[in-house]
A and B are shown apart, each in its own frame.
Chain A
Amino acid sequence: MNGPQLSAPLLGRILGTEDAMPTVFWFLVEQGQSVQLDDLVVARTTKPGGQEVSFYGLIDSVRKRHEGVTFESDVVDVASGVLPALVSYTARVLVTRVDPEQFVPPQPGDSVYHARGHDLKMALSADKMEAAAFPGGLLSDGQTLPINYNFVNGKSGGHINISGISGVATKTSYALFLLHSIFTSGVMGLDAADTRAVIFNVKGEDLLFLNRPNNRVVQKERDAQSAKGYPRDRYALMGLPQQAFQDVQFLTPPRGGVAGIMPDVERASGTVPYLFTVREFCARRMLPFAFSDRNASLNLGFVIGSIEDKLERLSRSGDTPYITVRDWKPDAEAQEALNEDIQFEDLDSVRIDTLSKLIAYVEFKLLEENDGSGDPKWTGRNPSTATLQAFVRRLRGVQKHLGPLIRGDISRQQAERYSPNLTNPAYRLSVVDIHRLSGPAQMFVVGVMLRDLFEYRERTAGKGVIFVVLDELNKYAPREGDSPIKDVLLDIAERGRSLGIILIGAQQTASEVERRIVSNAAIRVVGRLDMAEAERPEYRFLPQSFRARAGILQPGTMLVSQPDVPNPVLINYPFPAWATRFEEVQEEVSEANIQDLFGL
């Protein structure tokens, strides 16, 4: 079993001047050898009975000092060649695994080797993962870090949480790399056909080119390969293809204030607008998602619930994108206020085909009918007119945000075409763009779509999983307060893994996210952190030395913690093979381009 390792060069010997313990020990680095933080090593000791015990671990501290000199100023004499001194080069190892599980201390003088081959598998518990291992990045020495897919897909655990400062922590990049690795490494096996991913794009138009090759990746990877001295590029080292995402649909909100339905992005090619019909809004009970702060008043929550019911009832008759009502005759004043022409289908029927009309109708039913006392069926036993007024006022407040998204003035074919379908079998990856939407509209879209996904999986729990990538979790599921979208996210965090919905959530500061969401993530990843943030209890899974390191991590470097390995591991991951902005889109060498080039 240990055959191949015996020929490996000796890396060092365990110190006798520091405590050697089953969980942590120091070793002296042999002359001519070099170790760095995060290197994985193995030390072996022999028990008095002859049994060999192996200690696998990673280096979390390295130091050099002059040995045998007493005074700090002696360094001058050493450097000027007068005082002989040795440089002692030592490293501290945090033990991640003891095999067999006998927690005896190693013996000072025991040999330490780099963990490679079988030892590396043992150190990272890859032997427990077997076929469930997929590449999660590269260790400092260029070996692949395996991540246990069973802790991602919900079988043994689920959800991934990524923390880090925006911009330098590259949370989304790493989430995308993980998706790429899951999709292309073959780890999904038979579930591959049923596995989807949904990404909410919150920043710029960064994610709208994921299906196009990146024109910088070849050079970047070549640079990284030579800088780190790897034998091959990082994709090849991990056995992953260097390619863009396949089968991607891009959904963007429609542009407001224009006739027709156009995607609200600068570079629209390949993107499809998404919207919801007025009837869907009512039938699928989307009203609560229009209120991001349901807790503002208890009574308001009660009103929302009851109006939601009434709207749902209204939507039952018919299947047009709009709904019609017969008990409402908007007066001239209201018409003017709406500044839109209300169409009368016949004498006593009004077509409600915009959100503003729907709100006007709700206002009529609550506050205007019966000389201002409202329809008793709608107002019910509601406490006060003030509450109802507050409800309408808030609804009016979100109207302009949601107006372009909730439409009834379209044909049935249009409604079908622009209805977002995140589970379309033709697409493996759906990018939902919300970056141009205002806060309330973002909340609305994310909330509605996640709930739909959740209900879809509840109905049709199949094989495979749906990954949901969502940045800025602290906005959607803040630690304080309550909101419908937080409920959905909590549902996903707590029940999602049994239904096959896996949340790949990211945030700048885990301390500001609902605890139950972060704590349900089996895989936790940390990029660059603010030093003060790193000391918060949410990061206790990082040993102290790692928390200090988290403050200096560079883009492309992450600390990954997974249940199989008791200590986090530092990895770097390759430059995206897919374009992450328009400038990176590789020019396609088509006939037309060549003709352009030569002015033909």
Chain B
Amino acid sequence: MRIRLDPWPIDTQGGQLSLTPFESGELIDVETPRWAAIAPRDVPKRLETVYVVDGKPRMEARLLIEDDEGSSSFAGYGAFVVGAVKLCPHGSRPAELEDVRASRILAHGPGLSVQAARLSPRHPQTGALEYTPSGFQDDQPTAPAAHLQQLMLRAEQELSHGLASRVPFDEDDDRERLTSLTIQDGTLRGRNMGGAVVGCVKTMQTMYLPPDRISLLSELKPGERTPILHLKYGNNRVTRFTWYVRLCEAPAYLHPLAGVMRLEMYAPEESDFLPPIVRAVASLSGRLLCRLGSAAHKDSRAPQNLIPTAALEQAMSRSMGDARLVERRIRTHIMREMNVPAEDLRGAAWSLN
């Protein structure tokens, strides 16, 4: 009998053991037809900055809003935060958090006149919460949360691409050099926006490779990668460059794919051109990610959950504030809006504490 552990924590949905085969798509060798491990290259000197970007939404209260004209809709107080860790891949500067700031949204349904809400704290030192109204079209109970997620993703994309070098998808255009690269947590979403942005897929749920190629993944040494593939799926609506990298030696007791990560970058629809920047990114990705990878005793999702990502997640949660405190403030705010007398309000606030 042969038993192997799933590398992911027990409460991770799906885990690593179940890999759905990839059926409705097309996979093209764009780098080389020779299916073998490619050794990592050093991070070139000119790449001075790497950004690790992530985002996080949080619904803070689900609401039912009724405006003065009598129309009503589902709504929600929510917050989202996107941010980046700015670091030097050569280790010559301290890593810094960049733009980690929560935005607060009062998401509401269509056709409502809604004012911004300012939630004042009991103590002036603890700062006010300001919710900016933002409307959505659907009028469904889940729409506020979905809207918040959309806002977050949009902000994350803008941040990712704003920070990275541009990728010229034209064979003749080689002016842009890879000086800054963005690593984004998870698969890339939406359309190509032109930046050198790499998506890191931590949990592999779909196996894009045909069965005869899978064995290479477990043979990869730390830092080594597979050749770059051109991937089309969703009826050719989505095109990506993708490759696999191993971040660490998997201990014998783990699933053989533990420590293997799939990376992707935006690709043009035509599969005959591999921009040099993409190849450069793929070549340095092994070394870079091995450096950024976490250790098992520090992070249960190690090594895929990168050190900067974990720090960023922590900073993002913190920047949104304690959920219970925010909820308490929302309740007090609503009481105040209802013109509850001050004494009763104090009583209510205390009891809510």
- State the A residues within 8 Å of B (CB): 68-71, 73-74, 77-85, 107-110
Contact = CB atoms under 8 A, between A and B. Distances in A.
Nearest to B291: A82
B87 interface: yes
B87 A107 contact: no
B125 interface: yes
Interface in B296-315: 297-298, 307-308, 311-312, 314-315
B341 interface: no
A382 B94 CA distance: 89
Contact of A68 (B86, B126, B311): B311
A84 B125 contact: no
Contact of B311 (A81, A85, A110): A85
A68 B125 contact: no
Contacts of A85: 94-95, 311
B298 A71 contact: yes
Nearest to B84: A84
Given A77-B307, A109-B126, 8 more contacts: A68-B315, A68-B318, A81-B88, A81-B94, A82-B91, A82-B308, A84-B96, A85-B311
B125 A107 contact: yes
Contacts of A108: 125
Scoring B94, B292, B298, B308 by chain A CB atoms within 10 A of each residue's CB, the highest score goes to: B94
B298 A81 contact: no
Given A70-B298, A78-B95, A110-B125, A83 B307 contact: yes
Nearest to B90: A81
A210 B314 CA distance: 66
Interface of B: 85-88, 91-97, 123, 125-126, 291-292, 297-298, 307-308, 311-312, 314-315, 318
A78 B310 CA distance: 13
A74 B95 CA distance: 12
A186 to B, nearest CB: 46
B95 A82 contact: yes
Contacts of B96: 84
B126 A78 contact: no
Contacts of B95: 78, 81-85
B298 A78 contact: no
Contacts of A73: 298
Contacts of B87: 81-82, 84
A68 B314 contact: yes
B318 to A, nearest CB: 8
**Binding site of A, secondary structure by majority: helix, strand, loop or mixed?**
loop
Contacts of B97: 84
Nearest to B294: A77
A500 to B, nearest CB: 54
Contacts, number: 55
Nearest to B312: A84
A244 to B, nearest CB: 54
A78 B318 CA distance: 19
Contacts of B125: 107-110
A521 B87 CA distance: 60
A73 B315 CA distance: 19
Given A82-B292, A84-B96, A109 B123 contact: yes
17 contacts: A68-B315, A70-B298, A77-B307, A78-B94, A78-B95, A80-B91, A82-B308, A83-B95, A83-B307, A84-B85, A84-B87, A84-B311, A84-B315, A85-B95, A107-B125, A108-B125, A109-B125
Scoring B96, B123, B125, B297 by chain A CB atoms within 10 A of each residue's CB, the highest score goes to: B125
A492 B291 CA distance: 74
A82 B94 CA distance: 7
A116 B271 CA distance: 71
Given A82-B307, A84-B308, A107 B123 contact: yes
A79 B307 CA distance: 13
Contacts of A71: 297-298
Contacts of A84: 85-87, 94-97, 308, 311-312, 315
B91 A83 contact: no
Nearest to A70: B298
B43 to A, nearest CB: 12
B118 to A, nearest CB: 19
A466 B53 CA distance: 76
B39 to A, nearest CB: 22
B311 to A, nearest CB: 5
Nearest to A71: B298
A74 B123 CA distance: 35
A289 B29 CA distance: 109
A88 to B, nearest CB: 13
B311 A83 contact: yes
A77 B310 CA distance: 12
A71 B298 CA distance: 7
A108 B97 CA distance: 25
Contacts of A74: 298
A81 B93 contact: yes
> Which 8 interchain pairs have the tightest Cβ spacing?
A109-B125, A84-B95, A81-B91, A80-B91, A84-B97, A84-B85, A83-B307, A81-B95
A69 B294 CA distance: 13
A105 to B, nearest CB: 12
A17 to B, nearest CB: 12
A71 B297 CA distance: 10
Contacts of A81: 87-88, 91-95
B147 to A, nearest CB: 30
Scoring A78, A83, A85 by chain B CB atoms within 10 A of each residue's CB, the highest score goes to: A83
A109 B124 CA distance: 9
Scoring A78, A80, A84, A108 by chain B CB atoms within 10 A of each residue's CB, the highest score goes to: A84
Nearest to B92: A81
A111 to B, nearest CB: 10
A78 B95 CA distance: 7
A110 B126 CA distance: 11
A83 to B, nearest CB: 5
Contacts of A110: 125
A79 B318 CA distance: 23
Given A70-B298, A109-B125, A109-B126, A83 B308 contact: yes
Nearest to A81: B91
A109 B126 CA distance: 8
Nearest to A80: B91
Contacts of B126: 109
A78 B291 CA distance: 12
Nearest to B125: A109
Nearest to B124: A109
